[in-house]
């Protein structure tokens, strides 16, 4: 069998020793080899091998890393392996590295940061807001009704001008009164067990006994003796014990509405009331703070008078709660912070009221705004009875007692008392 002749350099044309330009022990020249690794068919008698990295060469690169041939055992695809790339002078170039997926890592980090920031705001704003809430004594010293079923919140909207400048009072049409009256009086009843909340409006002109001051309009109690006398008056008139007290003034009301960016209301007919400083067209519209305040205060344009006003107050309160609890407010950190801090500045609560109490209050109001619950006005027999203190509202005493007994005992509200639209 014929033998393959060796190259000239193996037939003695070069003197003993390394070929010119090469180094013993693995030089980088064209004829460099790997000392001590044996000979292949192209190696010479001196142990200097060809450094070409083809399929006959050492499958490791110059950094000791495995090449694709060494990893798989044979070239990918079943054919000859492509020769590795070389640079100037035959230097073996390193394999190209796969690009690291840093963009995905950065995106995850950004999303994690935003989530943590949002959670801090979600929890932190209520904590800060609660620290800004005003607390006042409201429990009367006189004998009080026994505890009944569930929890009763006395909700009051006062015409307090505190914090309003003269220009703001002019713009809002609030006048210059000292602000010791109530435009809104409601009782929010939250059942102890599973059940729907009930919101009852007490017209501000209701003619009732005011302890120590004879009979008067119910809002006079607040003007005479503040939260304590108002609480005592409501408890005596209803037989229900008020477990918590929540109040909001004119300035705070406007601030919350402005923080929400206005509240959308659909008016069945146009409203024009000069004393309330509003002139609103019929139809759906976004009410800013000024128009919202006029909307819940106006009564002279309405043939139903005070009863029509308390209905609008409940409707607007429901719309405010619904927008406050909407995703558009909660996931918007700017709006959420603005509304939360405005509410903290606006609210006055009774001493002893806790964060848990206010959480129950908020959840109950949210249920009402979503249609789960009952809203009504205390039954009345006359809306314009003549009294020594002017025209007033007289309750239907028996039907009113039926309502209050149902709330006290945790029973169902008589269907005849529930309004039907």
Q: Which residue has the higher pLDDT, 35 or 296?
A: 296
User: Which of 24, 50, 75 is a domain's end point?
Assistant: 75
The confidence score (pLDDT) of residue 73 equals 47
The confidence score (pLDDT) of residue 77 equals 52
Same domain, 65 and 120: no
Same domain, 34 and 178: no
Burial of 411 (0-12, 13-18, 19+ CB in 10 A): exposed
H helical segments located in 84-140: 102-131
Report the domain count for the chain: 2
Q: Residue 293 domain-assigned?
A: yes
Q: Residue 93 domain-assigned?
A: no
Q: How far apart are the first and last CA of the chain?
A: 112
Residue 166, pLDDT > 90, answer: no
Same domain, 252 and 134: yes
pLDDT band at 40 (very low <50, low <70, confident <90, very high): very low
Same domain, 38 and 128: no
**Secondary structure (DSSP) of 169-194:** HHHHT--S-----EEEEEEEEE-SSS
Strand ordering across the sheet containing 374-377:
134-136, 347-350, 244-248, 151-158, 182-190, 198-201, 374-377
Q: Residue 406 domain-assigned?
A: yes
pLDDT band at 198 (very low <50, low <70, confident <90, very high): very high
Cβ–Cβ < 8 Å for 222, 181: yes
Q: Domain holding 295: CATH number?
A: 3.40.630.190
The confidence score (pLDDT) of residue 87 equals 65
Mean pLDDT, residues 120-147: 94
Burial of 4 (0-12, 13-18, 19+ CB in 10 A): exposed
What gap in Å lies between CA 410 and CA 405, rounded to an integer?
8
Same domain, 182 and 66: no
Residue 159, pLDDT > 60, answer: yes
Q: Which two tokens stand for residue 348?
A: 């006055």
User: Which of 75, 105, 137 is a domain's end point?
Assistant: 75
Q: Residue 101 domain-assigned?
A: no
pLDDT tens sequence across 324-357: 999 999 989 999 999 999 999 999 999 999 999 9
User: Which of 54, 75, 96 is a domain's end point?
Assistant: 75
Residue 89, pLDDT > 90, answer: no
Residue 18 CB neighbours (<10 A): 20
Among 173-187, 228-242, 292-306, the minimum mean pLDDT is found in: 173-187
The confidence score (pLDDT) of residue 17 equals 52
- How far, in whole angstroms, is CA 338 from its chain's centroid? 11
Residue 154, pLDDT > 80, answer: yes
- Residues whose CB is less than 8 angstroms from the CB of residue 174 and which lie 6 or more positions away in sequence, other chains included: 159, 161, 164, 250, 293
Same domain, 220 and 349: yes
Among 91-100, 129-138, 159-168, 234-243, the minimum mean pLDDT is found in: 159-168
Same domain, 58 and 160: no
Residue 382, pLDDT > 90, answer: yes
Q: Residue 67 domain-assigned?
A: yes
Q: Which residue has the higher pLDDT, 49 or 228?
A: 228
Cβ–Cβ < 8 Å for 48, 33: yes
pLDDT band at 102 (very low <50, low <70, confident <90, very high): confident
Looking at every residue in the chain, the average pLDDT score rounds to 81
pLDDT tens sequence across 1-34: 444 444 444 444 445 555 554 444 444 444 444 4
Same domain, 218 and 354: yes
Same domain, 255 and 322: yes
Cβ–Cβ < 8 Å for 201, 159: no
Q: Residue 91 domain-assigned?
A: no
**C-alpha pair distances (Å), 138 with each of 55, 116, 174, 293, 421:** 94, 39, 25, 25, 36
Q: Which residue has the higher pLDDT, 16 or 307?
A: 307
Domain boundaries, position 294: 116-417
Q: Where are the beta strands (DSSP E) in 193-330?
A: 198-201, 207-209, 215-217, 244-248, 263-267, 271-273, 278-280, 283-287
- Taking Cα atoms as reference points, which of 227, 223, 10 lies closest to residue 136? 227
Same domain, 350 and 284: yes
What gap in Å lies between CA 352 and CA 137, rounded to an integer?
9
- Taking Cα atoms as reference points, which of 295, 235, 286 lies closest to residue 261? 286
Same domain, 153 and 28: no
218's enclosing H/E stretch is helix 218-238
Q: Residue 361 domain-assigned?
A: yes
Same domain, 355 and 291: yes
Q: Residue 246 domain-assigned?
A: yes
Highest mean pLDDT, choosing among 19-23, 155-159, 373-377: 373-377
């Amino acid at each position: 069998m014929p033998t393959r002749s060796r190259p000239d350099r193996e037939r003695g044309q070069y003197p003993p020793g390394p070929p010119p330009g090469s180094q013993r022990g693995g030089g980088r020249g064209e004829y460099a080899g790997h000392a001590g690794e044996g000979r292949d068919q192209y190696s010479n008698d001196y142990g200097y091998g060809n450094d070409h990295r083809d399929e006959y060469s050492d499958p490791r690169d110059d950094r000791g890393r495995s090449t694709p041939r060494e990893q798989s055992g044979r070239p990918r695809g079943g054919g000859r392996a492509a020769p590795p790339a070389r640079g100037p002078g035959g230097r073996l170039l390193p394999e190209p590295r796969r690009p690291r997926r840093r963009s995905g890592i950065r995106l995850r980090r950004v999303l994690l940061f935003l989530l943590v920031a949002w959670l801090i705001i979600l929890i932190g704003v209520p904590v800060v807001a609660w620290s800004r809430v005003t607390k006042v004594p409201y429990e009367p010293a006189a004998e009080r009704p026994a505890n009944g079923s569930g929890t009763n919140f006395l909700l009051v909207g006062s015409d307090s001008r505190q914090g309003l400048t003269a220009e703001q009072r002019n713009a809002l049409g609030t006048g210059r009164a000292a602000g010791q009256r109530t435009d809104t009086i409601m009782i929010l009843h939250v059942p102890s067990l599973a059940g729907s909340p009930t919101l009852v409006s007490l017209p501000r002109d209701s003619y009732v006994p005011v302890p120590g001051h004879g009979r008067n309009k119910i809002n006079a109690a607040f003007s005479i003796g503040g939260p304590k006398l108002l609480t005592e008056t409501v408890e005596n008139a209803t037989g229900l014990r008020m477990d918590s007290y929540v109040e909001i003034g004119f300035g705070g009301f406007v601030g919350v509405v402005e923080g929400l960016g206005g509240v959308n209301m659909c008016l069945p007919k146009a409203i024009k009331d000069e004393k309330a400083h509003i002139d609103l067209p019929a139809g759906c519209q976004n009410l800013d703070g000024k128009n919202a305040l006029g909307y819940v205060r106006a009564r002279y344009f309405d043939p139903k008078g005070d009863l029509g006003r308390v209905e609008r107050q409940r409707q607007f309160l429901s719309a405010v709660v619904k927008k406050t609890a909407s995703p558009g407010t909660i996931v918007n950190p700017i709006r959420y912070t603005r509304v939360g801090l405005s509410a903290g500045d606006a609210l006055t609560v009774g001493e002893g009221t806790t964060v848990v109490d206010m959480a129950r209050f908020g959840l109950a109001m949210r249920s009402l705004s979503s249609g789960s619950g009952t809203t009504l006005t205390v039954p009345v027999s006359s809306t314009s009875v003549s009294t020594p203190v002017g025209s007033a509202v007289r309750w239907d005493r028996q039907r009113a007692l039926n309502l209050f007994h149902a709330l006290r005992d945790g029973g169902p509200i008589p269907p005849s008392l529930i309004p039907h639209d």
